[in-house]
Amino acid sequence: MQITLTVNGTQHTLDVPENTLLVEIIREHLGLTGTHVGCDTSQCGACTVHLDGRAVKSCSMLAGQVDGASVTTIEGIGTPEALHPMQAAFRECHALQCGFCTPGMIMRAIDLVAEQPDLDSKAVRAGLEGNLCRCTGYHNIVRAVLHSAGSDQGGAP
């Protein structure tokens, strides 16, 4: 099937099999490998991207569902020279170790802060429930999200 979608501000028209997943479009067709695949049951959240501004697990969206949509991936929110505040907070709070879950975690965290500006630690933990991290024990991820949200509870970075 032919679909047209905008990824990180650039429009793409692709001819893909109907059973193609959004994450396959992103990684394999567009070569944007910052979005990762960590499971096959939509549980880990490593593939989280923004679809029309909201965080979605891109392993759970089919090509047909994203026709006409606007997608933002980790590559689209900031660069090493001009980091998104959430990217900067993750670095400053040591909220990543191996880095594999990180892109999905950051994309989810940005959406979380947007939907609930007055977050506390408990709300952050609940909000990140769909994203697995095996390295950090979540402690510093929670700090980073609170820090980025401007809450004092994040403590000094």
Partner 1 sequence: MSSSAATATGIGASVLRKEDLRFITGNGRYTDDLNQPGQSYAVFLRSPHARARIIGIDTREALKVPGVFAVLTGADMAADGLGDLPCGWEVKQKDGSDMVRAPHPPLAINVVNYVGEPYGVVIAATRAAARQGAEAVMTDFEEREPVVDLATARDSAAIHDGVPGNLAYDWELGDRAATEAALASAAHVTRLDLTNNRLIPNAMEPRAALGVYDRSGDEYTLYTTSQNPHLERLVLSAFVQIAPEHKLRVIAPDVGGGFGSKIFVYAEETTVVWAARKVGRPVKWTADRSESFLADAHGRDHVTHAELGLDADGNFVALKVETTANLGAYLSTFGSSVPTYLYGTLLAGQYRTPNIHVEVHGVYTNTCPVDAYRGAGRPEATYVVERIVETAARELGQDPAALRRRNMIRPEQFPYETPVALIYDTGNYEASLDRALELVDYAGFPARRAASEAAGRKRGIGFACYIEACGLAPSQLAIQLGAGVGLYESGEIRVNPTGSVTVFTGSHSHGQGHETTFAQVVSDRFGIPFENVEVVHGDTGRVEFGLGTYGSRSLAVGGSALVKAADKLIVKGRRIAAHMLEADVDAVAFEDGQFVVRDSNQSLAFGEVAFAAYVPTNYPTDLEPGFSEKAFYDPQNFTYPAGTHIAEVEVDADTGVVTLVNFVAVDDFGHVINPMIVDGQVHGGVAQGAGQALLEHGIYDDYGQLVTGSYMDYCMPRADDVPDFVVDTTVTPCTHNPLGVKGCGEAGAIGSPAAIMNAVTDAVGSNDVSMPATPEKIWRALAG
What residues make contact with partner 1 under the rule CB under 8 A?
Answer: 27, 32-41, 43-44, 46, 73-75, 78-80, 83, 87, 90-92, 94, 96-103, 106, 121-122, 124-126, 128-129, 131-142
Long-range contacts formed by 47-53: CB under 8 A, 24+ apart = 47/23, 47/104, 48/103, 48/104, 48/105, 48/107, 48/108, 48/131, 49/22, 49/73, 49/74, 49/107, 50/107, 50/110, 50/111, 51/22, 53/111
CB of 79 to partner 1, least distance (A): 6
Taking the least distance from each CB to partner 1, the nearer of 1 and 126 is: 126
Taking the least distance from each CB to partner 1, the nearer of 11 and 31 is: 31
- For residues 64 and 77, give the distance between their C-alpha atoms in angstroms, rounded to a whole number: 25
CB of 17 to partner 1, least distance (A): 8
Q: Are the C-beta atoms of 51 and 61 separated by less than 8 Å? A: yes
CB of 117 to partner 1, least distance (A): 19
CB of 55 to partner 1, least distance (A): 15
Taking the least distance from each CB to partner 1, the nearer of 68 and 126 is: 126
Taking the least distance from each CB to partner 1, the nearer of 68 and 93 is: 93
- For residues 98 and 19, give the distance between their C-alpha atoms in angstroms, rounded to a whole number: 31
